[in-house]
Chain A
Amino acid sequence: MFLEINQVVKSYRSGGRKSPSRKVLNGVDLALEPGEIIGITGDSGAGKTTLGLILAGIMRPDSGRVSFAGTDLWASNATIRKSISRRLQIVFQHPESTFDPQWTIHQSLSEPFILCGVMPDLSILADHLAEVELNSEILERHPRQLSGGELQRIAIARIMALNPKVVVLDEPTAMLDALTQARILNLLERIRQRTDAAYVLISHDTDMVNRFCQRIHRLSDGRLE
């Protein structure tokens, strides 16, 4: 098991600090193997996105353990946590909001390299774009000048630059048409075969999840079925 969560609990307060809290996740267990694709479905508001954020190491659960390759993520120090969280990445539903609106695609795509202390040259960026079937001409554009499908592919190229081991796909194609959706999922599948990353696909489109995933869980009443 290289990513494992045990008895994860997360609750939200509906109002102010004294309002009662609602347990969105109530003792969730999940384990992932390398190269595996699992699907998580559930009704709107069932806590799918919360689970995604916890799996991606972005949100800290109220209780329970998130461990990557045997290391407890939230019990580790900041340096270890940073190096683990680079291995866990997430693709969001709205591609346009995952890019800083002030930045060009060049700047956004360079960000993972810069954060790892490398200044990427143009040919590296062009290679990453070619992997998601995009032309390097778009590097000088701003996010508002690109379509949803193009932005989502750039978002995928950007996280793949970090060579992640687990990629959480939170409704990655909900905003896109069927053709773009199929092409993006097929593209992700090709990347997975090359990199052996594990995917967690969160969606309420059961047809798509059935088609794409090897194992499917349904989230309801804060537990995985």
Chain B
Amino acid sequence: MQPEKRIRQTTCVFAFLLTGTLLGCAFLSDMNPEPIYTPLMIPDYNHLLGTDNSGRDILALMIQSAWISLSIGLGSAFLAVFTGASVGCIAGYFRSPVDDLLMRLTDVVLLVPTLPLIIVLSAYLGPGVIHAALVIALTAWPATARVIYAHVLKLREEPFVINAKSMGAGSIYLMFRHILPNCRELLLAKAALTIAGAMLAEAGISFLGLGDPVHPTWGSMLHDAFVGAALINGCWWWILPPVLCISGSVGLFNVAGHFLSGATASTTPADTPETFSSADCCNQADTPVSSLLSIRNLCICFSGSEVPALPVVDKLDLDVSAGEKVAVIGATGSGKSLLLLALLGLLPAGAKVSGSIFIEGKNLSAYSASALRRHRGIFAGYVPQGLGNALNPVLTVGFQVAERNRVHRGFDRTGALKAALSSLSAVGLPNPDKRISDYPHHLSGGMKQRVLLAEALSVTPPLILADEPTKGLDHSAAAEIMELIKGLNTETVLAVTHDLIFARALGGRILVMLAGVVVEEAPADSFFRSPLHPYSRALIAAQPSRGMKEIAGFHISGIMRDVSGCPYRQECLIANRQCEIRPPLRFFQGHKIRCWHDVS
């Protein structure tokens, strides 16, 4: 993340420096035609780029042209982005009938072939810097309008916009305070790309001889060079500089645009983040063990400039034997979901991981990125969180389940579908032979969860990783999914959940996490009968079925996310000075707890 960010910033700075320098040069240089020298002089000390057939110094001409070329590029890009952004914003925000009118107009302009339109309009309007900028802007705005329109459509439905609206915010306020600022990066990226396109279009017009003869540009220099037979006469110094300048500046603005649009696409998961680098967070311990899953000293932290790199998961050790069911419960943001993603090597970009993970005795850190990708579905089946977006809405359910069989087992289309059908009936999807050709929106929440489970189980992985499998389901559907997961007798399940009823029903071991550390580990029965750690007690007492008792309210400073003390010490009723030192995970009455106190 960091180097990428640096490259982006450097490129943008470079692009703006170039613009500044060229504009500066244009002001500093003599704007009038230069003294006439001998025509077609080759480059020497006095004329660094030689002269053309009229005896003009090419370097001076280049600097003068730079000013015009860039002005046309910047001017038309400004006009195009301004028009496009206004049209996109107004159409996207106000919707029908303004939307229909503006977007159909955009479609019509998009349909007209750009280059012929530019040529016809330039010929009609005649030469001139302002004319050129206008003609180019007229053809360039619809692309920006489309992109901004799509973004505004999404933004106007965002809860923060709806919230502001319900507080009495008017359209102008929403547009200028919420919508446009959230389009800023997109607009910058579009502007950089439009400058590149506009400069190229201007070069094209001028090269065809439709440019302004009074104001030379890089394109018209090329035109002059070709008309003056520079190529035949071997006058490379006349042709090369404008060609290099056009391609260099267009390329630079394009790169800047792409980097900027990359910056707007936020946290995409890195295929392999800085995985298993043993440095930074804590030291690595190498202990291959006989259990199915074995995690040693796992640390995950995010390197960001705004917050200090505190571990999100801190020195976690965990062993899960074959057939065991483990439920990880705990506070929101305590690193539970990240733990699952770390096991799959799918942490978001910017995550730093250290420690070791062994699945069936194989050390995941030994896998290369491509080997990890091939093995991902095989060593662990992942049931992702979120019923709404975990399935692809444009593919049938059957296709999505069959995909795994095709990728991992090399089945052909029919074989994979047959296998998908048997996986779907195994998870109890009603009428699987009919449902197989349904799309996700045809299914209820419970059915979608079954499909996700069928997907994870289809390659019979030794380990199932489930992230909140009952979230968003009503009671009966949640109970069915609970039974289904419990019934996976031979499977090893590691489930992350907020649903304490599910955690209890799973019946295996409970792991309680708080601020990245495990504070209690115990068998489910014993844990729900008598939780020991003060945080676990508060968590259990707060269940609606137990009367939502609040043992201790919010502490104004919240949970302590630091590496030195007990994370619960601010809110804990029995905390004392000793709790400023992080307690070790110790055995106490059959549980493992991270607390200094006698909590019996």
- The reply on A121 being an interface residue by CB < 8 A is no
- The reply on A178 being an interface residue by CB < 8 A is yes
With A133-B556, A183-B554 in contact, is A90–B182 under 8 Å at CB?
A: no
Cβ contact within 8 Å between B538 and A179: yes
Cβ contact within 8 Å between B329 and A177: yes
Tell me which of A3-11, A28-36, A61-69, A146-154 binds B: A146-154
Q: Please measure, in the bound complex, the distance between the C-alpha atom of A41 and the C-alpha atom of B475, giving whole angstroms.
A: 11
Cβ contact within 8 Å between A211 and B544: yes
- The reply on A26 being an interface residue by CB < 8 A is no
Partner of A207 from B162, B173, B306, B544 at Cβ < 8 Å: B544
Interfacial chain B residues near A178, Cβ < 8 Å = 498, 500, 539-540, 542-544
Cβ contact within 8 Å between A147 and B471: no
Interfacial chain A residues near B547, Cβ < 8 Å = 211
- The reply on B545 being an interface residue by CB < 8 A is yes
Interfacial chain A residues near B333, Cβ < 8 Å = 147-149
- The reply on B160 being an interface residue by CB < 8 A is yes
Q: Please measure, in the bound complex, the distance between the C-alpha atom of A202 and the C-alpha atom of B464, giving whole angstroms.
A: 32
Cβ contact within 8 Å between B544 and A82: no
Proximity string of chain B (515-556) to chain A, C-beta cutoff 8 Å, 1 when within and 0 when not: 000000000000000000001001110111101111001111
Cβ contact within 8 Å between B169 and A115: yes
Proximity string of chain A (193-225) to chain B, C-beta cutoff 8 Å, 1 when within and 0 when not: 000000000001111101110000000000000
Q: Who on chain A is nearest to B164 by CB?
A: A111
With A44-B444, A44-B472, A205-B544 in contact, is A100–B166 under 8 Å at CB?
A: no
Interfacial chain B residues near A88, Cβ < 8 Å = 166
With A98-B160, A100-B160, A147-B332 in contact, is A179–B475 under 8 Å at CB?
A: no
Q: Please measure, in the bound complex, the distance between the C-alpha atom of A172 and the C-alpha atom of B544, giving whole angstroms.
A: 14
- The reply on A77 being an interface residue by CB < 8 A is no
Cβ contact within 8 Å between A177 and B475: no
With A183-B553, A208-B544 in contact, is A97–B158 under 8 Å at CB?
A: yes
- The reply on A112 being an interface residue by CB < 8 A is yes
- The reply on A57 being an interface residue by CB < 8 A is yes
Cβ contact within 8 Å between B474 and A43: yes
Partner of B548 from A99, A130, A185 at Cβ < 8 Å: A185
Interfacial chain B residues near A212, Cβ < 8 Å = 544, 548
Interfacial chain A residues near B163, Cβ < 8 Å = 90, 92, 98, 155, 158-159
Tell me whether chain B's interface is mostly helix, strand or loop, or mixed. loop
Cβ contact within 8 Å between B167 and A162: yes
Q: How far is the CB of B496 from chain A (nearest CB, A)?
A: 11
Q: How far is the CB of A165 from chain B (nearest CB, A)?
A: 13
For B, the interface residue count at a CB cutoff of 8 angstroms equals: 53
- The reply on B307 being an interface residue by CB < 8 A is yes
Interface set, chain B 357-412, CB cutoff 8 A to A: 387
Cβ contact within 8 Å between B544 and A183: no
With A82-B168, A207-B545 in contact, is A101–B556 under 8 Å at CB?
A: no
- The reply on A94 being an interface residue by CB < 8 A is yes
Interfacial chain B residues near A111, Cβ < 8 Å = 164, 167, 169
Q: Please measure, in the bound complex, the distance between the C-alpha atom of A115 and the C-alpha atom of B538, giving whole angstroms.
A: 39
Interfacial chain A residues near B332, Cβ < 8 Å = 147-149, 175-177, 180
Q: How far is the CB of A133 from chain B (nearest CB, A)?
A: 4
Q: How far is the CB of B174 from chain A (nearest CB, A)?
A: 10
With A85-B166, A85-B168, A178-B539 in contact, is A101–B182 under 8 Å at CB?
A: yes
Interfacial chain A residues near B545, Cβ < 8 Å = 207
Q: Which of B167, B542, B554 lies at the interface centre, i.e. has the most chain A CB atoms within 10 A of its CB? A: B167
Q: Please measure, in the bound complex, the distance between the C-alpha atom of A135 and the C-alpha atom of B558, giving whole angstroms.
A: 9
Cβ contact within 8 Å between B160 and A115: no
Interfacial chain A residues near B184, Cβ < 8 Å = 102
Cβ contact within 8 Å between A145 and B160: no
Cβ contact within 8 Å between A204 and B474: yes
Q: How far is the CB of B516 from chain A (nearest CB, A)?
A: 12
Interfacial chain A residues near B178, Cβ < 8 Å = 100
Q: How far is the CB of A222 from chain B (nearest CB, A)?
A: 16
Interface set, chain B 93-150, CB cutoff 8 A to A: none
Cβ contact within 8 Å between A177 and B168: no
Q: Please measure, in the bound complex, the distance between the C-alpha atom of A148 and the C-alpha atom of B166, giving whole angstroms.
A: 22
Interfacial chain B residues near A207, Cβ < 8 Å = 543-545
Give residues in B with beta carbon < 8 Å to A. 158-160, 162-169, 173, 178, 181-182, 184, 306-307, 329-333, 387, 444-445, 471-475, 477, 498, 500, 535, 538-540, 542-545, 547-550, 553-559
Give residues in A with beta carbon < 8 Å to B. 41-45, 56-58, 82-83, 85-86, 88-90, 92, 94, 97-102, 108, 111-112, 115-116, 130, 133-135, 142, 145, 147-150, 153, 155, 158-159, 162, 174-183, 185-187, 204-208, 210-212
| Known pairs A43-B444, A44-B387, A162-B167 / 18 extra A-B pairs, C-beta < 8 Å | A41-B474, A44-B472, A45-B444, A45-B445, A108-B160, A111-B164, A112-B167, A115-B168, A133-B553, A133-B555, A145-B306, A159-B163, A174-B471, A175-B332, A179-B538, A185-B548, A204-B472, A204-B474
Q: Which 7 A-B pairs have the closest CB atoms?
A: A182-B542, A207-B544, A133-B554, A182-B548, A208-B544, A44-B445, A98-B159
